[in-house]
Amino acid sequence: MAEARAGLFAYLDNAATTPVLPEAAAAMAAVLGADPQSRSDGLFANPSAVHRWGLAAAERMAEARRAVAAHVAASEAEVVFTSGGTESNHLAVLGLCRAAARRGRHVVTTVIEHRSLLSACDALAADGWEVARLPVGPDGRLRPEDVSAAVRRDTVLVALAHVNNEVGAVQPVREIAAAVRAAAPAAALHVDAVQALCKVATPYAAWGVDTAALSAHKVGGPKGAGALFVRRGVRLLPPVPGPEQEGGWRPGTENVPGIAGFGAALRADVVGREGGIAALKLRLLEGLRASLPGIAVNGPDPADPSAAAPHILNLSFADVAPLPAEVLLHAFEAEGIACSAGSACSARRPEPSHVLLGLGLRGARLRGSLRFSLGPSTLPEEVEWAITRIPAAIARVPQAVAPR
Amino acid sequence: MTGGAPAETLLLGHYAEVALKGGNRPLFERALQRSARRQLPAGSRVELRGSRLLVRLPEGVPAETGIAALQRCFGIVSVRPARRIPRPADLGALAGAAVDEARRALAAGAGSFKIAAQRADKRYPLRSPDLNREIGTAVASATGMRVDVHHPDLEIGLDVREDAFYLWGAVLPGPGGLPTGTAGRALALLSGGIDSPVAAYLAAKRGLLLSAAYFHTFPYTGDGTRRKVVDLARTLAAYTGEVRLWVGHFTDIQLAVQEGVPEPLRTVVVRRMMLRFAEALCRRERAGALVTGDSLGQVASQTLEALTAVGEVAALPLLRPLIAADKTEIVDLARRIGTYEISIRPFDDCCTLFAPRHPRTRPTRAEVREAEGRLDVDALIEAAAARSERLRVTPDGEEPYPPPGGGDA
């Protein structure tokens, strides 16, 4: 372990994306047709083609669809494949609202959503919709009664993430679904499940959730693939009318390699792995605290599985090293440790994280926080490496600059 | 069309200043020919013929590709897509070619035209005014366009040479300047901002080979900024062929200044260190000048006093092509040469991190020298230069320079 490292060693940025699992890569290779075997198998064929090779490709998609359906306790007909989480969020939020616009123009969401959900809500607000953005507690969690209080008779949609991408707060989706049903039966409930999939229980169909956005590359699948769960009977308008693929939801030849990789990643998701990830996360926290007692956890209690996702740990280093998060990030990078300041989708923006702001963080604590996230292929050795190298990295960076 | 061999389309690259260079003229012309060959698609033929570059593109290459290539070639003042009509050819062939040009312009909305003939071959029996009249009459009757010798929508040029006639309907601007490699080598300081690449471009335009230095302060600045500077160098290399880019290890110097220099004077001292660092790299590059993006009064460190306090450390000539340019002029040029979109990418610049709250805007030389007293300047620079990395950047990418494993660099 102490020998010279050839490159990246502790990849702790799995909430941004994960490496593709070998099972997923194999499933993708089988439908690419790039090697002689898969070329002659004909699984690269267009799944809409009527010859048997096309039918075989369609069957690979059906297998993936079954895997997705199983993860959200749904039936296959309730799964639409998309290009990923952002498209799924947009398809659901805009599609549900446009379908119900005559009933009302009121949407409820929270202040800590991912940009892809925020941007869909912003588009509605720009179109004259009223968007209520509920505050969360210091642990990043929403209370179901706050949702009950916020919905009205003309509320069309409640939209929120099951697991927050920056601090890992788990929302009580089951209770929120019940609260919405009781207070505004006509309102739909959309869940951004991108960080929840394969990390916490996600039986959305059973809970009465209407739509849920899923992404392949956060669970060991490839980038560019995802899905939207749409509960049977839920009405949403597709953005482009008339395509034949994916039940009319999405035009264009299906991304069969991406979909096959997604399905394989989900099938590889071993029951009980969640416990493993959570244990690694707690080991990381305990190990860092032993040498850096001043670090503080942002968000929910990491040891409470009902409040904290197993894979995300957001830490403030403000009392350990008064440096901007970006400088710490690069100092860790020099040790082969990948983590993130905020979410990768917004890390290149200079503004502080709206999620940490939403949790009430201010000043040095706000600007000196980093996210560590684990995934299906995280090894215990990676966590141990981070535990030994992070204090060393901090000791090596002269603290010549104070965050402003 | 009657008489003579068929016309062929080629590009004429005109150069003006190069032709004035007296005894050095062959040197400049060869350099121009070399850069044109480098810019043009493989298989292009580039000849020097009577103070112009004559370019034949390989079959299937659209004229636009060749024009764009010549427009990246410093030294070229204008580019004309021309028809070459080999002699002997009768007047009918010339008129036919002119009518073709006129019809194309007519379709694009032109209503008036003139013919501007000139004879390099004075033995040709018709004089220029005769040619203008004969061909003009043919064009007017074939197209219905009217002749306007003062403000024509279309000017058809005709050059009578011993071997052939050259005829064109459009004169497109080139970048001007002098051919790359005719003025020696300079090293430009690149920050990742908007100004410095424009300054490097303007210096290179005067015939300089380009080296560049970027000062990296990892981990206070991430590799995103380094990537940005490499991309800027690639954009500059589209004009000069290559840029030798130094990624200077600046972290230790920055920290030494942070520790040893009073806060209000840190900016000016950091800039002095950068200039010294760059000059040390110039020795390794055999570069004879430094180029900076300074613009008088733009920011606090660009007052006359600050420029003086910084500039005095350089023994080499310090070129500041933007010294009198306004920000809007700089931005316009940055957009035109393609660096603007790269410069505005949102990556951290460590300056914001280390910037003093109240920098001294009018430092005196004496106080700057005193402030620097606690730094071991030479040792800092030497140690940093030894830890710096050099890249050869071309429009297609970058590689370590000299290439790993030796080679003949």
Give the Cβ contact number of residue A377 at 10 Å.
14
C-alpha closest to that of A315 among A302, A331, A333, A334: A302
Q: Which residues contact B177 (CB under 8 A, 6 or more apart)?
A: B74, B75, B205, B206, B207
* CATH number of B298's domain: 3.40.50.620
Q: Give me the mean pLDDT over the A191-206 stretch.
A: 97
What residues in A contact B259, CB-CB < 8 Å? 398, 400
CB contact under 8 A, B219 and A348: no
Asked if B166 and B190 sit in the same domain, the reply is no
**Percentage of chain B modeled with pLDDT above 70:** 94
pLDDT at B9 over 80: no
pLDDT at B403 over 90: no
Asked if B204 and B151 sit in the same domain, the reply is no
pLDDT at A175 over 90: yes
What residues in A contact B354, CB-CB < 8 Å? 400-401
pLDDT at B269 over 50: yes
Asked if B72 and B99 sit in the same domain, the reply is yes
Instruction: Report if residue B406 sits inside a domain.
Output: no
Take residue B140 and report the two structure tokens written for it.
């007017």
**Percentage of chain A modeled with pLDDT above 70:** 92
Instruction: Please give the residue of chain A at the shortest CA–CA distance from B345.
Output: A348
B348 touches chain A (CB under 8 A): yes
B168-184 pLDDT, tens digit each: 999 999 999 999 999 99
Contact indicator for A130, A107 with CB cutoff of 8 Å? yes
CB contact under 8 A, A348 and B346: yes
CB contact under 8 A, B255 and A327: no
B320-373 pLDDT, tens digit each: 999 999 999 999 999 999 999 999 987 765 556 788 888 888 999 899 999 999
List Cα–Cα distances, A172 to A143, A169, A232, A313, in angstroms: 8, 10, 23, 19
Range of the domain at B392: 185-400
Query: How confident is the model at residue B405, as a pLDDT?
Result: 66
B258 touches chain A (CB under 8 A): yes
Instruction: Report if residue B179 sits inside a domain.
Output: no
Instruction: Report if residue B203 sits inside a domain.
Output: yes
From B173, B206, B238, the end of a domain falls on B173
B247 — phi, psi (to 5°)?
-100, 100
Q: Give me the mean pLDDT over the A341-357 stretch.
A: 71
CB contact under 8 A, B219 and A349: no
Take residue B201 and report the two structure tokens written for it.
């471009």
Q: Quickly state the pLDDT bin for A337 (edges 50, 70, 90).
A: very high
C-alpha closest to that of A403 among B354, B274, B263, B369: B354
From B173, B202, B234, the end of a domain falls on B173
Catalytic residue among A97, A121, A339, A345: A345
CB contact under 8 A, B255 and A398: yes
Give ipTM to 2 decimals. Answer: 0.78
Min Cα distance B383 → chain A (Å) is 18
Of A13-22, A371-380, B4-13, B346-355, which gets the smallest average pLDDT?
Answer: B346-355
Of the candidate CATH numbers 1.20.120.450, 3.40.630.30, 3.90.1150.10, 3.40.50.1100, the domain formed by A10-20+271-396 belongs to 3.90.1150.10
Exposure letters B54-66 (e unless 16+ CB within 10 A, then b): bbbbeeebeeeeb
Instruction: Report if residue B337 sits inside a domain.
Output: yes
CB contact under 8 A, A324 and B353: yes
Instruction: Please give the residue of chain A at the shortest CA–CA distance from B252.
Output: A398
The Cα–Cα gap between A214 and A83 comes to: 10
Asked if B147 and B251 sit in the same domain, the reply is no
What total number of domains does chain B contain?
Answer: 2
Instruction: Report if residue B107 sits inside a domain.
Output: yes
**Percentage of chain A modeled with pLDDT above 90:** 83
Q: Give me the mean pLDDT over the B231-251 stretch.
A: 97
List Cα–Cα distances, B399 to A228, B185, B363, B395, in angstroms: 44, 20, 41, 12
Q: Mean pLDDT in chain A? A: 92
CB contact under 8 A, A401 and B348: no
Asked if B120 and B156 sit in the same domain, the reply is yes
The Cα–Cα gap between A354 and A122 comes to: 15
The Cα–Cα gap between B290 and B320 comes to: 8
Query: How confident is the model at residue B3, as a pLDDT?
Result: 43
What residues in A contact B253, CB-CB < 8 Å? none
Instruction: Please give the residue of chain A at the shortest CA–CA distance from B220.
Output: A327
Crossing angle of helices B195-205/B327-337, nearest 10°?
A: 70
B200-237 pLDDT, tens digit each: 999 999 999 999 999 999 998 889 899 999 999 999 99
CB contact under 8 A, B218 and A334: yes
Asked if B151 and B103 sit in the same domain, the reply is yes
Instruction: Please give the residue of chain B at the shortest CA–CA distance from A346.
Output: B346
- CB under 8 A, 24+ apart: contacts of A51-60: A57/A31, A57/A256, A60/A27, A60/A30, A60/A31, A60/A256, A60/A259, A60/A260, A60/A263
Q: Which of residues 380-399 of A touch B (CB under 8 A)?
A: 397-398
The fold for domain A27-268 equals: Aspartate Aminotransferase; domain 2 (3.40.640)
**Higher-confidence residue: A114 or B26?**
A114
B133-157 pLDDT, tens digit each: 999 999 999 999 999 999 999 999 9
Instruction: Report if residue B309 sits inside a domain.
Output: yes
Query: How confident is the model at residue A248, as a pLDDT?
Result: 75
Q: How many CB pairs under 8 A join A and B?
A: 38
Asked if B196 and B64 sit in the same domain, the reply is no
Min Cα distance A327 → chain B (Å) is 5
From B142, B173, B204, the end of a domain falls on B173
Asked if B288 and B366 sit in the same domain, the reply is yes
Asked if B284 and B154 sit in the same domain, the reply is no
List Cα–Cα distances, B153 to A145, B99, B108, B139, B288, in angstroms: 74, 15, 10, 14, 47
Query: How confident is the model at residue A344, as a pLDDT?
Result: 53
CB contact under 8 A, A330 and B353: no
Query: How confident is the model at residue B404, as a pLDDT?
Result: 75
Domain layout of chain A by residue ranges? 10-20+271-396, 27-268
Of A76-85, B19-28, B138-147, which gets the smallest average pLDDT?
Answer: B19-28
Asked if B345 and B268 sit in the same domain, the reply is yes
B347 touches chain A (CB under 8 A): yes
Take residue A331 and report the two structure tokens written for it.
């100092």
What residues in A contact B222, CB-CB < 8 Å? 326, 329-330, 333
Instruction: Please give the residue of chain A at the shortest CA–CA distance from B257.
Output: A400
Query: Where do we find the tokens 């000791």?
Result: A395
pLDDT at A346 over 60: no
A272 — phi, psi (to 5°)?
100, -10
Q: Give me the mean pLDDT over the A283-301 stretch.
A: 97
Q: Mean pLDDT in chain B? A: 91
The Cα–Cα gap between B322 and A248 comes to: 57
Query: How confident is the model at residue A243, as a pLDDT?
Result: 61
Q: Which of A326, A328, A400 sits opposite B348 (nearest CB)?
A: A326
**Higher-confidence residue: A209 or B297?**
A209
A227-273 pLDDT, tens digit each: 999 999 999 888 777 667 777 777 789 999 999 999 999 999 754 45
A350 touches chain B (CB under 8 A): yes
CB contact under 8 A, A327 and B354: no
Instruction: Report if residue B408 sits inside a domain.
Output: no
Query: How confident is the model at residue B409, as a pLDDT?
Result: 42
Q: Which of A333, A348, A349 sits opposite B219 (nearest CB)?
A: A333
Asked if B303 and B393 sit in the same domain, the reply is yes
Q: Is A121 tagged catalytic?
A: no
Query: How confident is the model at residue B42, as a pLDDT?
Result: 93
In the chain, the amino acid numbered A105 is: R
Asked if B50 and B71 sit in the same domain, the reply is yes
Q: Which residues contact A295 (CB under 8 A, 6 or more apart)?
A: A288, A289, A315, A316, A317, A319, A320
- Helix, strand, coil in percent for chain B, rounding step 5: 45, 20, 35
